[in-house]
Amino acid sequence: MTRLKTQVLIIGGGATGAGLARDLSLRGVPCLLVERGDIAAGASGANHGLLHSGARYVAKDPQAAMECAAEGAILKKVAAGCIEDTGGLFVAVAGDDERYVADFPSHCHRCGVACEPLALGEAREMEPVLSEKLIAAFKVPDAAINPFKLVFENIDEALSLGTDVRPHTRVTGFRRGRRGLEAALLRDMQSGAALTVEAAQFVNAAGAWAAEVAALAGLEIPMPYSKGSLLVTERRLARRVINRLRSSADADILVPGGTVSLLGTTSVRLDRLEDCRPTIPEIDRIIDAASKMVPALAATRFIRAYAGVRPLVGAKTPHDDRAVSRGFALVDHAAEGCDNLVTITGGKLSTYRKMAEKTADLVCAKLGVAAACRTAVQPLAAGGASRWAAPGLAPRLWLKAQDPDDLLLCECEMVPQSAVDEIVDAIRRQKAVVDIRAIGQRSRIGKGTCQGAFCAVRLAAYLCDRGLLGAGDGPADIRAFLVSRWKGLRPVLWGRSLVQEELQEALHCGLFGLEL
Amino acid sequence: MSDQNSAPVDLIVIGAGMAGMAAALFAVNRGLTVAQVGSSAEIIFASGLLDLLGVHPIATGRLWQDPWAAGEALRRDLPRHPYARLSKADIQGAFTEFCAFLADAGLPYWIDPGRNTPVLTSLGTFKLTYALPATMQPGVAARAAGRRCLIVAIKGLKGFSAPQMAASLAASWPQLRAATMAFPGARSGEVYPEKMARAMELPAAIEDLAAAIRPHLDGAEAVGLPAILGVGGCRAVAAALSTALARPVFEIPSIPPSVPGLRLKEACEQHLPRKGVRLFLEQRVTEVHPLGDRGFALQVAGRPGFQTRLACRSLLMATGRFLGAGLRAERGRIRETLLDLPVFQPQDRRQWHRRDFLDSRGHPVNHAGIETDRYFRPLATTGRPAFANLFAAGSILAHQDWMRMKCGSGLALATALAAVRACRRALAGTLD
């Protein structure tokens, strides 16, 4: 049984946990971060990639709107490498609520969200994919953010500052003392070994799993789950973020994601976290609704769908989860007799830094640490393997380097062997498992039009040649990769995506017999 | 417009995949005048292995050593499967005739009559198949005898790792060893199977490769490598390399681009015209005009500006599934792309695929397709043949899952033969 000691144990390897690890280590506080799966496995790896201007919340959730506006400006300075400052539009089409449209500018102004009205012709010139039936258009400072790059940059910097990061490590219980927690009991999911971590302070940053973690400490947090499903287009459709100007409903937002566009989303109540998958009716609903705003969506090829779970804190079963505040919740469990546990949950990717700051402030106060937060001014350390998560980088670097021996393993996204080498090193530093899925999580491999059908085989062969995959693991790893991608493929299998899938099944089942 | 084009042929085959090529061959072998329109590009995705029937029922994943016994069980359990309309003699005859054609074209195939044969793949798995290229057969013999083998991978050839194969097979075939080497003459960078295969048709290349392999032999009794042993001249290349190494060599199928698939394509493209088939490859049928008893008139287009009109007394669709574009899936339903014939299909898209990619029951959408009468004539919504002289063959047919059953080639060849036989009778007026 391994026993570790640290100042702060952070439970959760998403944006909040990673941001907190960086914040605390910049303040000189030693911490250990544990995550039951791979880094960014929850909502941080399944969101819209939208850095909200806040305009979406000005009518119903002004607190969240103001937070987004302020944080957006900060992140554009300190996380510039993860952000494409695309700008955004809010557009209404014939039949949309004209009162909502009329009230929009004043609500934005009240919340400090910059908002500029546009002539309809001007909006359609800026974004030709917009419907001809526009009735209103406004410009706002939305931006696109790469959540994988963001989370991995936070993790890598925390690592370099001395944080211990342990993915595939799951909390199984806590040892309680008189006035709080003495230790967390964990299991290493790779080896099965048990682990104990003693810490002065414990932070539950487990996102949608925060209620489960709190329950292990004997505490209750009401947390309904709201699933949001999204779609990835084959090609980028618009320069800017395009939002529907109406009270929040399905399929309101189309966000650029480098070389593709991300369309979403839905809000479906889930009873169990395990049920999180994009469904065919959801996907069809999204396309039908969004086509009113961008007609080309009706004929676009989608290469993948995905879904994430929003942790909604404090909801006492409202009728519509969209009415629950998108603000975050920082809960100090001292009020419940547990002095050294805090839970930070709710919130949005856009406000992750603020959530981490508030949590770090509270934890430092409890520790008697006086150091101030620096994350609002100190830029994230860029470079390193996390750059491979950004679309378009791999082709540029590979073409520049002109190294004929550096073969492309993923041809759709042009990711070469050298990138894989760097990513494998990063995975080892992050103590995660070296397999195709982990490499896919940290790069563009498998995210192009073939969705991994061919690159999985090339990647497995390369890893075997380099001795990085255990004996006989090639077929098993490919199988696990294909099975894990399927959730996202199944709802979009029509047109050319079905052609691609037929080829994939012909190869992997017809020839290789992976199903047998 | 030449006279040749305007005179109707007995049969036009639409589709240039396995079923289309076979149908054109069987028709011309039986004295019909034949034209064929289609794209043969997709056949390079084919591994070169010709399956008959390997798995039944797919829900249990039961593998069969005897494909004919498997066929009997399948006919009993799946009476709507195209095989249920065919006898063992029908299917065997189709394989015999097609493989004879391939042998004449320089592509001998090997069959162990009455048995499926396991073939080593580049992933280290074994694929059960019926007819395999002769260039792959020595690997089968080597494994059956537990011989020491050297697996050679080529530096710069992606997706083919000799260490991966050796590791996968460490328990069941421990006598395998792995070596990786540069292709002679390739200084650096990526190498391509087709280029290497063509290079291997030069005697000097064979000697250079043998020289590169020799230091690694260390008592190996057979040598396996990627499928790069020539294209049209593969029989001679394989023999020459074996001689140079003084032991058998064998090819191992891998991910596309597949040279064995390319060999099939070239064999058909070069030898079918010699038998009298008029080939219109890399072209599409853009219009079909039924002419009642007289047959059909087709508009064919290919390269920009190239258009021709063809006429035929009967028509055979071997247009494939989604990859071949014989079927197209819209968001709500599946359509047949040539004549908008009714397509047997699940009620809606939610039923097309299972939640698990590798669900042993297979995906219901794979059973979608064209239903036919016993003469392989596609049915209209009335349940009667849409046209008296329209036939269909191959993977476009409903009620089969070739990828899971491992019956793709058998389906293509046998239904092509049956359709051509029915077509002959129809032309002679002896079909009821």
Q: Are residues B276 and B423 in the same domain?
A: yes
Radius of gyration of chain B (CA): 22
CB atoms closer than 10 angstroms to residue B283: 19
A514 in contact with B, Cβ within 8 Å? yes
Which residues from A are below 8 Å from B356, CB to CB? 483, 486
Q: Which one of A304, A493, A498, A501 would you mutate to disrupt binding with B, by most B Cβ within 10 Å of its Cβ?
A: A498
B194 vs chain A: nearest CA distance in angstroms? 17
Which residues from A are below 8 Å from B159, CB to CB? 454, 457-458, 461
A123 residue type, one letter: A
| CB within 8 Å: B404 and A409 | no
Q: Are residues A140 and A254 in the same domain?
A: yes
CA distance B333 to A237: 26
CB atoms closer than 10 angstroms to residue B371: 16
A300 vs chain B: nearest CA distance in angstroms? 11
Q: Are residues A251 and A135 in the same domain?
A: yes
DSSP letter at B380 equals: -
- Closest-CA residue in chain A for B324? A499
Directed axis angle between helix A473-489 and helix A495-505, to 10°? Answer: 160
| CB within 8 Å: B330 and A474 | no
A515 in contact with B, Cβ within 8 Å? yes
CA distance A427 to A386: 10
- Closest-CA residue in chain A for B326? A499
| CB within 8 Å: A502 and B164 | no
- Residue B220: which of B148, B145, B146 has the closest Cα? B148
A516 in contact with B, Cβ within 8 Å? yes
| CB within 8 Å: A490 and B353 | yes
Position A383 scores a pLDDT of 74
A494 in contact with B, Cβ within 8 Å? yes
What backbone torsions phi and psi does residue B8 show, to the nearest 5 degrees?
Answer: -70, 140
- Bond from prior residue into B257 cis (ω within 30 degrees of 0): yes
Which residues from B are below 8 Å from A277, CB to CB? 355
CB atoms closer than 10 angstroms to residue B155: 16
Say yes or no to pLDDT of B172 above 90: no
pLDDT in tens, chain A (516 residues): 899 999 999 999 999 999 999 999 999 999 999 999 999 999 999 999 999 999 999 998 898 899 999 999 999 999 999 999 999 999 999 999 999 999 999 999 999 999 999 999 999 999 999 999 999 999 999 999 999 999 999 999 999 999 999 999 999 999 999 999 999 999 999 899 999 999 999 999 999 999 999 999 999 998 889 999 999 999 999 999 999 999 989 999 999 999 999 999 999 999 899 889 999 999 999 999 999 999 999 999 999 999 999 877 765 544 556 655 667 889 999 999 999 999 999 888 999 999 999 999 999 999 999 999 999 999 999 877 888 888 878 888 888 888 888 999 998 888 999 999 999 999 998 888 899 999 998 998 888 887 888 899 999 999 999 988 865 588 999 999 999 899 999 999 999 999 999 999 999 999 999 999
| B372-425 pLDDT, tens digit each | 999 999 999 999 999 999 999 999 999 999 999 999 999 999 999 999 999 999
Which residues from B are below 8 Å from A472, CB to CB? 124, 167-168, 170-171
| B335-359 pLDDT, tens digit each | 999 999 999 999 999 999 999 999 9
Long-range contacts of A175-183 (CB under 8 A, 24+ apart): A176/A217, A176/A218, A176/A338, A179/A337, A179/A338, A179/A339, A179/A340, A180/A334, A180/A338, A180/A339, A180/A340, A180/A341, A181/A217, A181/A338, A181/A340, A181/A341
Q: Are residues B143 and B171 in the same domain?
A: yes
Give me the interface pTM, i.e. the ipTM: 0.95
A498, A507, A511 ranked by CB distance to B322: nearest:
A498
Position A394 scores a pLDDT of 82
CA distance B309 to B235: 39
CA distance A503 to B352: 16
A288 in contact with B, Cβ within 8 Å? no
- Closest-CA residue in chain A for B155? A405
Pairing relation of β-strands A50-51 and A143-145?
A: antiparallel
| CB within 8 Å: A464 and B188 | no
Q: What domain range is B239 assigned to?
A: 122-252
Position A324 scores a pLDDT of 58
CB B390 within 8 A of CB B35: no
Q: Is residue A54 part of a domain?
A: no
Q: Are residues B238 and B144 in the same domain?
A: yes
Q: Are residues A352 and A429 in the same domain?
A: no
Q: Which residues contact A210 (CB under 8 A, 6 or more apart)?
A: A12, A204, A221, A223, A311, A343, A345
Q: Are residues A281 and A352 in the same domain?
A: no
Which residues from B are below 8 Å from A486, CB to CB? 355-357
- Choose the final residue of a domain: A266, A282, A309: A309
| CB within 8 Å: B163 and A483 | no
Long-range contacts of A459-463 (CB under 8 A, 24+ apart): A459/A409, A459/A410, A459/A420, A460/A436, A460/B123, A460/B161, A460/B164, A461/B122, A461/B158, A461/B159, A461/B160, A461/B161, A461/B164, A462/A409, A462/A417, A462/A420, A462/B158, A462/B161, A463/A420, A463/A424, A463/A434, A463/A436
Q: Which residues contact A432 (CB under 8 A, 6 or more apart)?
A: A38, A39, A167, A168, A438
Radius of gyration of chain A (CA): 23
| CB within 8 Å: A409 and B158 | yes
Domain count, chain A: 3
Half-sphere exposure (CA, 13 Å, Cβ side) for B228?
24
The CATH number linked to A30 is 3.50.50.60
- Closest-CA residue in chain A for B182? A405
Q: Is residue B130 part of a domain?
A: yes
CA distance B139 to B118: 10
A280 in contact with B, Cβ within 8 Å? yes
Q: Are residues B204 and B276 in the same domain?
A: no
Cα dihedral: A206, A209, A214, A219 (round 10): 140
CB A214 within 8 A of CB A204: yes
CA torsion through residues A256, A261, A267, A270, sign: negative
CA distance A10 to A414: 36
Q: Is residue A492 part of a domain?
A: yes
Identify any residues that bridge with A231 across adjacent strands, giving them in sequence order: A263, A305
Q: Are residues A268 and A393 in the same domain?
A: no
The CATH number linked to A124 is 3.30.9.10
CA distance B429 to B424: 8
The CATH number linked to B379 is 3.50.50.60
Q: Are residues A419 and A286 in the same domain?
A: no
Interface A-B, measured as beta-carbon pairs within 8 A, has a size of 153
| CB within 8 Å: A404 and B188 | yes
Q: Are residues B147 and B68 in the same domain?
A: no
| CB within 8 Å: B404 and A507 | no
Position A171 scores a pLDDT of 98
The CATH number linked to B233 is 3.40.50.1860
- Residue B427: which of B30, B21, B18 has the closest Cα? B30
Q: Are residues A356 and A417 in the same domain?
A: no
Cα A348 from chain centroid (whole Å): 10
Sorting pLDDT into bands at 50, 70 and 90, what band is B2?
Answer: very low
Alpha helices in A234-292 (DSSP H): 280-290
pTM of the complete model beyond 0.90: yes
- Residue B14: which of B341, B399, B347 has the closest Cα? B341
A26 in contact with B, Cβ within 8 Å? no
| A178-222 pLDDT, tens digit each | 999 999 999 999 899 999 999 999 999 999 999 999 999 999 998
Q: What angle do CA B321, B327, B329 make, to 5 degrees?
A: 115
Which residues from A are below 8 Å from B406, CB to CB? 510, 513
CA distance B363 to B357: 8
Question: Burial letters for A56-89: b for 16+ Cβ neighbours within 10 Å, e otherwise?
Answer: bbbbebbebbbbbbbbbeebbebbebbbbebbbb
Say yes or no to pLDDT of B5 above 60: no
Q: Are residues B266 and B406 in the same domain?
A: yes
Helix (H, G, I), strand (E, B) or coil at B33: coil
Domain count, chain B: 2
A480 in contact with B, Cβ within 8 Å? no
Q: Are residues A9 and A107 in the same domain?
A: no
Q: Which residues contact A374 (CB under 8 A, 6 or more apart)?
A: A23, A26, A27
Q: Are residues B93 and B38 in the same domain?
A: yes
> Two tokens at A363?
């934890």
CA distance B220 to B52: 32
CA distance A287 to B180: 49
Q: Are residues A348 and A249 in the same domain?
A: no
Q: Are residues B10 and B82 in the same domain?
A: yes
Q: What angle do CA A464, A469, A472 make, to 5 degrees?
A: 80
- Choose the final residue of a domain: B221, B252, B283: B252
CA distance A297 to B7: 46
Q: Is residue A75 part of a domain?
A: no
Q: Is residue A207 part of a domain?
A: yes
| CB within 8 Å: A464 and B350 | no
Sorting pLDDT into bands at 50, 70 and 90, what band is B306?
Answer: confident
CA distance A57 to A46: 21
Burial-class residue B213 by CB neighbours within 10 Å (0-12, 13-18, 19+): buried
Q: Is residue A49 part of a domain?
A: no
Q: Is residue B112 part of a domain?
A: no
Place of tokens 């995906």: B363
Which residues from A are below 8 Å from B256, CB to CB? 454, 507
- Closest-CA residue in chain B for A481? B357
A461, A498, A515 ranked by CB distance to B160: nearest:
A461
CA distance A380 to A396: 22
Q: Are residues B40 and B82 in the same domain?
A: yes
Q: Is residue B116 part of a domain?
A: no
Q: Which one of B168, B357, B411 would you mutate to disrupt binding with A, by most A Cβ within 10 Å of its Cβ?
A: B357
- Choose the final residue of a domain: B252, B275, B297: B252
| CB within 8 Å: A511 and B168 | no
Q: Are residues B321 and B379 in the same domain?
A: yes
A127 vs chain B: nearest CA distance in angstroms? 26
- Closest-CA residue in chain B for A486? B357
Q: What domain range is A389 assigned to?
A: 385-511
Q: Is residue A77 part of a domain?
A: no
Question: Burial letters for B286-307: b for 16+ Cβ neighbours within 10 Å, e otherwise?
Answer: eebeeeeeebbbbebbbeeeee
- Residue B232: which of B95, B155, B133, B160 has the closest Cα? B133
CB atoms closer than 10 angstroms to residue B198: 18
Position A471 scores a pLDDT of 53
- Choose the final residue of a domain: B252, B283, B303: B252
Position A361 scores a pLDDT of 97
Q: What angle do CA A45, A46, A50 make, to 5 degrees?
A: 95
Distances (CA, A) of B311 to B300, B302, B390: 11, 17, 13
Distances (CA, A) of A135 to A106, A124, A132, A246: 18, 11, 9, 12
A509 in contact with B, Cβ within 8 Å? yes
Q: Are residues B289 and B370 in the same domain?
A: yes
Position A1 scores a pLDDT of 83
CB B288 within 8 A of CB B43: no
A507 in contact with B, Cβ within 8 Å? yes
> Two tokens at A223?
């947390």
Q: Are residues A235 and A343 in the same domain?
A: no
Q: Are residues A406 and A493 in the same domain?
A: yes
Which residues from B are below 8 Å from A516, CB to CB? 55, 61, 63
A231 vs chain B: nearest CA distance in angstroms? 14
B164, B253, B358 ranked by CB distance to A460: nearest:
B164
Identify any residues that bridge with A199 across adjacent strands, giving them in sequence order: A6
Which residues from A are below 8 Å from B153, CB to CB? 465
CA distance B280 to B269: 10
Which residues from A are below 8 Å from B331, CB to CB? 284, 287, 494-495
A81 in contact with B, Cβ within 8 Å? no
A475 in contact with B, Cβ within 8 Å? yes
Position A447 scores a pLDDT of 84
| CB within 8 Å: A505 and B163 | no
CB atoms closer than 10 angstroms to residue B219: 8
Q: Are residues B168 and B98 in the same domain?
A: no
Which residues from A are below 8 Å from B121, CB to CB? 511-513
What is the separation, in whole angstroms, between the first and last Cα of chain A? Answer: 38
Q: Is residue B109 part of a domain?
A: no
Q: Is residue A92 part of a domain?
A: yes
Which residues from B are below 8 Å from A467, CB to CB? 163
Alpha helices in B246-289 (DSSP H): 259-274
| CB within 8 Å: B188 and A490 | no
A124 vs chain B: nearest CA distance in angstroms? 28
Q: For chain B, give percent helix, strand, coil, nearest 5.
A: 35, 20, 40
Q: Is residue A320 part of a domain?
A: no
Q: Are residues A141 and A207 in the same domain?
A: no
